[in-house]
Structure 1
Amino acid sequence: MARLSVGTSVGEVLGYIASGEARTRGALTRRTGLSRATMSERLEVLFRAGLIREGELAKPSGGRPSRVLALDTGRYAVLAADVGEDHVRVLLTDLTGAVVAERLGSMPVSAGAPAVLGWVTATGLELLADTGRAPDDLLGVGLSVPALVDHARGRVTSPSVMEGWDGHDIEKLVRARLDVPTVVENDVNALGYAEHLRDWRSYDDVLYVKAGTGIGSAVISSGTLFRGAQGAAGDIGHVRLRPDDGPLCRCGATGCVESLAAGWSIVRDLRAAGFDVSTTRDAMDLVQAGTPEAVNLLRAAGRTLGRAIAYAVSMLNPSVVVVGGRLTGQHLLTGVRESVYSYSSPLATNDLQVVEGRADERSGATGAALLAVARALEPDAVNGRLRFLAESA
């Protein structure tokens, strides 16, 4: 590869192409203010790196037609892993999130960060080899984990089910084997990001709520995943609706949304009523069978969850509320909608849609992959990769 100057403008050029802000040579020249010669130099670097390609002719508004520039989505791959309580799903995807290869392992999260991440990185290298790719073809890594994440430090916080992960720099552990940009994300944020890009891309403001054994949410604001100052944005499950007389929550507080509406609290109430259940799946089996006590508890959970969502709707004013997770279905959504439209401000609900999520078993890992792509295509990351390629040539 030619040893060219690869200042920030190279990464910015790729950003304009990837976002669709400028997709022809002329548009890029106008957008950046670079000369045609300098722009050609920058684009040549991106072509040689395999990051962009030229496609069909653009329809001209005047003057000569020019070819459309786009990401070369098949040249590089991204590794993504969805770490669950008792399994890890690993995907190798292209830059659009389409799955190239997949592996499902039974390793529990309790095995600890070094063991789990060692398996993920080793599996990633195997998938690369199985698909005829080299480690240098990997553009980034995305990890979805069942805990809040401190993004500044690359570590999980309030680990809950992630015992043995405290104090570990997750990004550092991954990059010891795979030295590429790495994103560590809360599992609900990863799910919400995937739902947004796949099904609700035309909406800039989306609230995703996962209602399962626990409850959490992801906030998409102005088209971007909003994490908050400490990464704690969206922790709707621990909003305290009944702090004075509510039941004890798993977090140690009283009256949290989870203690009133999560899968584990429904299991608790069913057991108190004499039913032999131990998991959220057991409770939902009773709902599917039409058991009145289970159906009534789920509807009540929907109304309670809907109150918490209503407060978020009034604060965030999303266009769409997407409710996913194991509890989702007609009974839960009916209760959620009832409360959202009753308790939210009228202006916030004028055109609001409250819909059922469409996530599948791959969505968490897919969201992590798409977040990894976004990180890898940031100007600084692109410039760093181009410097590496230039030095290796």
Structure 2
Amino acid sequence: MIDVSLGGRTPNSPSGSNPSDLFQILRDGRPRTRSELAGMTGLARSTVALRIDALMKLALLKPVSDAISTGGRPSTQFALDPVGHSVLGVDVGASHVRVAISDLTGGVVEESAAELDIAAGPREVLDRVMRMGSELVSTAGDRVGPLIAVGVGLPGPVEHSSGRPINPPIMPGWDRYDVAGVLGAHFGVPALVDNDVNIMALGERELAWPGVDDLIFVKVATGIGAGVISGGVLQRGAQGTAGDLGHVYVARGAGVSCRCGNTGCLEAIASGSAVARALSTEGAAVATSGEVVELVRQGDIDAIQAVRQAGRDLGEVLTTCVSLMNPSTIVIGGALSAAGEHLIAGVREAVYTRAMPFATQHLEITKSRMGADAAIAGAGVLAIQSALSIERIDAMVAALGEDRD
């Protein structure tokens, strides 16, 4: 079950003052009766009944099997209706587009993918996204309800509040393009946009590590970035650049130029492209992360050592993150993570050696469980969190004009 930020309130301690409080309780997937909900919220049963009726009219709740009777007529239970609405998740990569329509638990109903160069520009790429998305909505038919939100991941910096890419290095023509506005207008629902590593962190945490509230997801591919989840909430920072690990200075990279214009950046020595570049200078015919991984799988000693060193360099930066944030889990994803334990062993070596034992005694450093599905899953999570937010639910109920105590 996808979680959602409750703005300081939790299903275990609802205020009961808004329709969304009752709805958030039921989002955990456990059916409850009107009496149970009245006891949990402190509301009168008549008020609970009104709010349940409104939420059912909105196709957000549904009645389920009756509770066990203790004598007399069994009480009806209510729970989230997972197929009452749907969301669209969009994963735009450097050379691909993947689109999926999901129910309100994140379960994928239909999906499609296509190869497409991000450098083709926003109009061509988004036109393709809109065609693919519209086809999926049509194909899904009656299996899910109407579309309620769209979530998008892009391979570059994004101003989350506006949904606009900001000076994306591998996305010519996309700077400040109104991605959220274009997609929102086409589909007629709110569109949320974030960078790819943030949505990967969302997908990984919600669907693979649902019980983990403090997690760092690190993507190691052409570049290096991290999605930071603290207290169960994705942390974007003041300008949306939280987790930009790739441009942290590393002593071993002193003098090595980075695409950002500085020297000594982690990305310049430990990214997949940096490892490939270092191996090619030694005579290996490699140019991409995938080709490095293939050499590792073939048992090439130079490639294995280079990947392990990249892990140590990454671990040096993550050691500071461990001291600063005290995560319980660090997940390594991205193309270079396919090299398996060689990269992760280097990370563990640095972190467990340098960080304080108290911070690492229960720390798990592991490979992504979601793999290539993390981004598309996270795009769906982004949409669901918006669609089922406290403010959105209260507004939907208020629009019915039926939330009268």
The residue number in structure 2 matching 1:343 is: 354
The residue number in structure 1 matching 2:369 is: 358
The residue number in structure 2 matching 1:86 is: 95
Q: Structure 2: how far apart are the matches of 1:165 and 1:107?
A: 15
Q: 1:116 aligns with which of 109, 122, 125?
A: 125
The residue number in structure 2 matching 1:148 is: 157
2:341 aligned partner, one-letter code? Q
Q: Structure 2: how far apart are the matches of 1:58 and 1:136?
A: 27
The residue number in structure 2 matching 1:26 is: 35
The residue number in structure 2 matching 1:4 is: none
Q: Structure 1: how far apart are the matches of 2:73 and 2:319?
A: 53
1:370 to 2:370 alignment: no
Q: 1:248 aligns with which of 226, 239, 257?
A: 257
Q: Which moved more, 1:64-73 or 1:179-188?
A: 64-73
The residue number in structure 2 matching 1:174 is: 183
Per-residue Cα deviation, 1:125-158 (whole angstroms, up to 9, x for no partner): 2111112259970021110111122112221123
Alignment of 1:269-284 (within 5 A): 269-284=278-293
1:292 to 2:301 alignment: yes
Per-residue Cα deviation, 1:95-148 (whole angstroms, up to 9, x for no partner): 122111111122321222233223222321211111225997002111011112
Q: Structure 2: how far apart are the matches of 1:333 and 1:88?
A: 28
Alignment of 1:201-240 (within 5 A): 201-240=210-249
How big is the alpha-carbon RMSD for the aligned residues of Structure 1 and Structure 2?
Answer: 2.7
Q: Structure 1: how far apart are the matches of 2:150 and 2:25?
A: 22
SS at match of 2:141: coil
Q: Structure 1: how far apart are the matches of 2:238 and 2:253?
A: 28
Identity %: 39
1:190 to 2:199 alignment: yes
Contact 1:16 1:23 in 2 (8 A): no
Q: Structure 1: how far apart are the matches of 2:277 and 2:368?
A: 25
Q: Structure 1: how far apart are the matches of 2:141 and 2:59?
A: 16
Contact 2:253 2:265 in 1 (8 A): no
Give the 3 Å change call, closer, same or farther, for CA 24–317 of structure 1 in structure 2.
farther
Contact 1:114 1:173 in 2 (8 A): no
1:333 aligned partner, one-letter code? I
Give the 3 Å change call, closer, same or farther, for CA 57–366 of structure 1 in structure 2.
same
Contact 1:146 1:186 in 2 (8 A): yes
Q: Structure 2: how far apart are the matches of 1:157 and 1:137?
A: 32
- Post-superposition shift, 1:21? 9.6
SS at match of 1:255: coil
Q: Structure 1: how far apart are the matches of 2:32 and 2:231?
A: 22
1:187 aligned partner, one-letter code? D
Q: 1:15 aligns with which of 24, 39, 44?
A: 24
Q: Which runs of 5+ in 1 are unaligned?
A: 1-7
Give the 3 Å change call, closer, same or farther, for CA 106–268 of structure 1 in structure 2.
same
Q: When the two structures are superposed, what TM-score results if normalisation uses the length of structure 2?
A: 0.87
2:197 aligned partner, one-letter code? V
Q: Which moved more, 1:297-306 or 1:197-206?
A: 197-206
Q: Structure 2: how far apart are the matches of 1:253 and 1:185?
A: 25
Q: Structure 2: how far apart are the matches of 1:372 and 1:334?
A: 35
Contact 2:323 2:359 in 1 (8 A): yes
- Post-superposition shift, 1:357? 1.1
1:98 to 2:98 alignment: no
Give the 3 Å change call, closer, same or farther, for CA 133–123 of structure 1 in structure 2.
farther
Contact 1:246 1:256 in 2 (8 A): no
Q: Which runs of 5+ in 2 are unaligned?
A: 1-16
SS at match of 1:362: helix
Contact 2:82 2:104 in 1 (8 A): yes
Tell me the matched-pair count.
Answer: 385
Q: Structure 1: how far apart are the matches of 2:30 and 2:385?
A: 15
Per-residue Cα deviation, 1:292-318 (whole angstroms, up to 9, x for no partner): 211111111111111111111111111
Contact 1:80 1:143 in 2 (8 A): yes
Q: 2:343 aligns with which of 310, 332, 353?
A: 332
Q: Structure 2: how far apart are the matches of 1:64 and 1:350?
A: 53
Contact 2:88 2:147 in 1 (8 A): yes
Q: Structure 1: how far apart are the matches of 2:262 and 2:135?
A: 44
Q: 1:40 aligns with which of 33, 46, 49?
A: 49
Give the 3 Å change call, closer, same or farther, for CA 48–144 of structure 1 in structure 2.
same
Contact 1:243 1:256 in 2 (8 A): no
